[in-house]
Amino acid sequence: MKKAIQYLLSVFGNKAVISDAQAASFPLYMNDLYELQDISLLGTEYVLVKHRKQPLLKTDSLLKERAQIHRFTHKQPVFIFYDLRLPRRNVLIQNDFCFIVPDKQIYLPLSLILLNERDAIATEYPQTFIKSTQIVFIYLLLRSVEEINAHRLADRIHISVTTANRALNELTDRGILQKEGNHTRVRYVMPDRISAWNIGKQYLFNPVSHVHHLTKRQVDLNSELLYKSHDSALYALSDQFDENANTVDCYACATGDYEKILTGKNAGIDRTALDNYINIQCLVYPPELFAEKGIVDIITLYAQYSDLPDERVQIALDEMIKEALNG
C-alpha cells in the first residue's frame, strides 16, 4: 500500500489527500481480505484496495469484490496490482475497473489515465493458458522442476523445442518463471512452487472437452487409456449431492482415445439404476502425462472445478493442492 500511495502522491502532488478508511465499519472478513485506504484525487473520492493475498484476477470475482467494497465504503474502489499484463489490463478497462500499477500505470477515468507505452507493446496472451503452456505449467509443478531449458523440456514431455520455448516464455512473461543466461545457455528457473502456483492458477482453463454418461458394460474399465478421477469425491461434497443416492464413478481419457475405450455393447440395464453408470470425461490433453497410480492429477482437477461456487469443494481442492505441492 505504501508504494501505491507514494506513486499517487508523486503524480498528483497536493491534489491527493490521504485519509484512513473507516475499517471499524467493515465486516471482519473484509479486513482479513483487503488493506483499504481512503484517498481523494482532484476532488474525487476513492478507496485504494490492496489484496492481502494473491488476488484472483478472474473478472467475475473482481466484479463481486468491487460491488461489495463499494457497498460498504460508498466510494469508487481502486485496485492495486503489481503485475498486470496487457490482456488482463484490457479486460479491466472494458469492465470499467479503476486500478493502478505502482510506478507504471494509472487508470482512473474521472481523474487521470496513464498507461505505460512499453507495456502496451508487450506480447499479448489470452486470459487463460493455451494447451501446451498448461501442460508445461502442470509438469513443472508436479515434477518439482526448479530449473530447465527448452530442449530438456521438449524431450521429457514429447513436444517440439519451438512449442517448449513458447510455453516457457509465456510462463516467464506471466511472472511464473525467471529467465537466466543468454543465447544457447538460456535456462528457466522456478524459485518457489507455491508462488508459481498462486500466480499461475488464475490462468488455468478447464481441459474437459466432453462428458459422456454411460453404463459400465459400455466401457472397458480395464483399458490402460482410462484413468480414475477424484470427481466423485468432489461431487459428494457439492450442494448437488443427495445423501440418499449413490455417487457416479468418474473416469477420464484423452479426447482422441474415447472411441478406443468403448466395448460396443448396448446399455442393456435399467437406466434408473445410478450405480450402473459412470461418467467419462474427455480431456484435451492425455491424462497419463501427469496421472499417478491411475488417478488424474490434482491440478487438472483444480482446473475443472475452481469456479464451482461451493465452499466445501474449494476447501477440498485447496487441501489436495497443498498436499501435492508440499509433498
According to the model, what pLDDT value does residue 247 have?
61
Among residues 203, 220, 248, which one ends one of the domains?
A: 203
Residues 112 and 219 in one domain: no
Please give the model's pTM, rounded to 2 decimal places: 0.61
Residues 17 and 114 in one domain: yes
Residues 47 and 135 in one domain: no
Average pLDDT over residues 126-133: 91
Among residues 77, 93, 120, which one ends one of the domains?
A: 120
Any idea what the CATH number is for the domain that residue 165 is in?
1.10.10.10
Domain membership of residue 212 (yes or no) is: yes
According to the model, what pLDDT value does residue 91 have?
84
In whole angstroms, how large is the CA radius of gyration of the chain?
24
Domain of 48?
2-120
User: How many distinct structural domains can be found in the chain?
Assistant: 3
Ranked by mean pLDDT, which of 59-63, 182-186, 244-248 comes out on top?
Answer: 59-63
Residues 235 and 318 in one domain: yes
Residues 320 and 292 in one domain: yes
Domain membership of residue 125 (yes or no) is: no
Residues 256 and 274 in one domain: yes
Ranked by mean pLDDT, which of 12-26, 33-47, 102-116, 304-318 comes out on top?
Answer: 33-47
According to the model, what pLDDT value does residue 200 have?
93
Which of the residue ranges 36-50, 183-197, 231-245 would you say has the lowest mean pLDDT?
231-245
Domain membership of residue 266 (yes or no) is: yes
Domain membership of residue 6 (yes or no) is: yes
Q: Is the pLDDT of residue 118 over 80?
A: no
Residue range 164-173, pLDDT digits in tens: 999 999 999 8
Residues 259 and 302 in one domain: yes
Distances (CA, A) of 253 to 134, 222, 250, 289: 17, 12, 10, 11
Among residues 65, 89, 120, which one ends one of the domains?
A: 120
Residues 167 and 244 in one domain: no
Residue range 288-326, pLDDT digits in tens: 999 988 889 999 989 988 777 777 777 888 888 888 888
According to the model, what pLDDT value does residue 122 have?
45
Residues 111 and 155 in one domain: no
Domain membership of residue 126 (yes or no) is: no
Residue range 211-264, pLDDT digits in tens: 998 888 899 999 999 999 865 555 544 444 444 444 678 899 999 999 999 998
Share of the chain above pLDDT 90, in %: 38
